[in-house]
A and B are shown apart, each in its own frame.
Chain A
Amino acid sequence: QKEVEQNSGPLSVPEGAIASLNCTYSDRGSQSFFWYRQYSGKSPELIMFIYSNGDKEDGRFTAQLNKASQYVSLLIRDSQPSDSATYLCAVNQGNTGNQFYFGTGTSLTVIP
């Protein structure tokens, strides 16, 4: 079983819609959770991190964490064509140091 799982997509949404990206993780002791965006041919860049159960909002982005269900999601409101990218979920288990476990990513396309 993979440490971190994401639906690879592709996920397509129309411009202005809400895009919902999901991620599950296997280690119940995981402590911190990160969402990275990666444009084609570029390196991953951090969008958000979340440590506590509940929602965390930053502009058009909302991260949601449910540790009981071992589930973290990213919502993108008012999706724009510039949001088209691959979104990577990363989990830090805390007790094993600073390394992350990455999902394989979900490809998002926002259709104008």
Chain B
Amino acid sequence: DAGVIQSPRHEVTEMGQEVTLRCKPISGHNSLFWYRQTMMRGLELLIYFNNNVPIDDSGMPEDRFSAKMPNASFSTLKIQPSEPRDSAVYFCASSLGTSGGQETQYFGPGTRLLVL
């Protein structure tokens, strides 16, 4: 099993530019999660999809952030325009997506974003 795949692994961009992060969940997993991790705030859930449908996007900081999941094997998180305070590590995770909440999330390697 290849695990959760994220790209790019590192991204350096200038303020105001558009940034697109990509994620491929584990095959057969129906739930996908986007997290942001910083030293100050820890690991924060941004949005979560189940069967390609956004279920909870209350963690998305503002309108500059958007996420899509066009099919079961691909998701994107877009920041437009980017700002220095968006600098963080962005993780994608996936889980089987069965009901009851008793299941494990598996994390991708993360994308380290630096906005200058």
B45 at interface (Cβ–Cβ under 8 A)? yes
B31 at interface (Cβ–Cβ under 8 A)? yes
> Complex: how many Å from CA A27 to CA B43?
18
B18 at interface (Cβ–Cβ under 8 A)? no
Contact indicator A97/B55 (Cβ below 8 Å):
yes
B108 at interface (Cβ–Cβ under 8 A)? yes
Q: Which of B31, B56, B101, B107 makes the CB contact (< 8 A) with A43?
A: B107
Main SS at interface, chain A = loop
A34-B101 contact in complex given A97-B56, A100-B45, C-beta closer than 8 Å:
no
B binding-site residues for A, Cβ under 8 Å: 31, 33, 41-45, 48, 50, 55-56, 91, 95, 97, 100-110
A binding-site residues for B, Cβ under 8 Å: 31-32, 34, 42-46, 49, 51, 88, 90, 92-105
A sample of 18 inter-chain contacts (CB < 8 A) reads: A31-B101, A32-B101, A34-B104, A34-B105, A46-B104, A46-B106, A88-B42, A88-B43, A90-B105, A92-B101, A98-B97, A99-B48, A102-B42, A102-B43, A102-B44, A103-B42, A104-B41, A105-B42
Q: Which 7 pairs from chain A and chain B are nearest by CB?
A: A104-B42, A94-B101, A43-B107, A92-B101, A102-B43, A32-B102, A98-B31
